[in-house]
Amino acid sequence: MVVVMRGGASGTDVDKVVKAISEVGGDAFVSRGKHQTIIGLVGDPTQFAELPLHAFPGVEDVISVSKPYKLVSTETHPRPSTVWVGDTPIGRDTVTLLAGPCAVESVEQTEAACGLAVEAGATILRGGAYKPRTSPYAFQGLGEPGLDILHGVARDLDRPFVTEVVTPADVDVVAAKADMLQIGARNMQNFQLLKEVGMAGKPVLLKRGLTATIDEWIMAAEYIAHTGNLQVVLCERGIRTYEPSTRNTLDVSAVPVAQSLTHLPVIVDPSHSGGKRELVLPLIRAGIAVGADGVIVDVHNRPETALCDGPQALVKDDMLHLRETVSRYASAGGREVATVDRTRRSGAWGRSATA
């Protein structure tokens, strides 16, 4: 950390800062210039985090120069992690395809959409039973019956699945069936949910909030890690900007930036950011090319009847193209498409391990 003093700050002001730093066990180096004095703080940043240095007399600014996260940081754990979802890995050496319907609407639709996903090569299925919706009048998901449908379909197709949890009270029931729990963009800073999902012990898919900085997103992962659960996969899904022609702006730079800051896998959601079917394949290509460890894609058998986000779902005719695209761009980067590793499966589903 660096404390920048105001032009007119007195020697006493500087001393007070130095003293406060020492009291919490840090070292303070004072750079006294003609116009301005700067104090460099060296030590564990969590020591200083609680000091209200901004409010000290004579202080103009306090600048953080080290990252506030530890457990998920590459500084403390330089080797990239692999998160196993059932018998499928998500990690730096492979490209994992997660696919399925945005929302579970019925047995038939879930079977059809998940069947398409498997056809395209998906090794992890996805589907929403609990939907956070902007309007109280919109379809809110089938809830527990939806979870049961998805669970049944996934077991029939012999694939693990990920599904969203929207409130702490649902964590137990969802964790009992799902192989991976998703925290949606709107809940990225629902800290109680982060903690309870972390404690459920299942792998977690953590979407970036609509206007979360990369640091805030990684701090949300740190909340989960802080419960002892390091099986966290980050998911870039588009940020809110001034541009009106896409629903959100897919921030592909966030993938290599996050991969340099954290050992956690980072995947991309090209369906929700573009908001239009014709953008999904281009954004899958961009996501894999930039280095994402996987992509999560909406598919639907009959998008024109979808209860949620139909316009952006890939359809039957896209499946072959999806499979080839993932494969071709994984190869271009010298990686393989993730496949099921049966040796990882030991009787029970949902057992995962961090490399």
129 lies in the site for a second copy, by CB under 8 A: no
Smallest separation, CB 350 to a second copy (Å): 24
Q: Which of 25, 191, 321, 339 binds a second copy (CB under 8 A)?
A: 191
Smallest separation, CB 191 to a second copy (Å): 6
Buried/exposed 188-200: b ≥16 CB within 10 Å, e otherwise: bebeebbbbbbeb
**266 CB contacts (<8 Å, ≥6 apart)?**
233, 234, 235, 236, 254, 255, 258, 259, 292, 293
Q: Which of 82, 88, 123, 187 binds a second copy (CB under 8 A)?
A: 187
CA atoms of 30 and 39, how far apart (whole Å): 4
Q: Which of 303, 318, 349, 352 binds a second copy (CB under 8 A)?
A: 303
| Identity of the amino acid at 254 | A
Smallest separation, CB 130 to a second copy (Å): 9
CA atoms of 186 and 209, how far apart (whole Å): 6
Query: What would the two tokens of residue 282 be?
Result: 């281009």
10 lies in the site for a second copy, by CB under 8 A: no
Listed ranges 85-93, 110-118, 156-164, 308-316: which one lies at the site for a second copy (CB under 8 A)? 308-316
288 lies in the site for a second copy, by CB under 8 A: yes
Q: Which of 305, 320, 321, 336 binds a second copy (CB under 8 A)?
A: 305
Place of tokens 């992690």: 81
In angstroms and rounded to an integer, the radius of gyration of the C-alpha atoms of the chain is 23
What mask, x for binding a second copy by CB under 8 A, covers residues 257 to 286? x--x------------xx---xx--xx-xx
Smallest separation, CB 157 to a second copy (Å): 25
Q: Which of 94, 128, 68, 127 is nearest to 267 (CA)?
A: 94
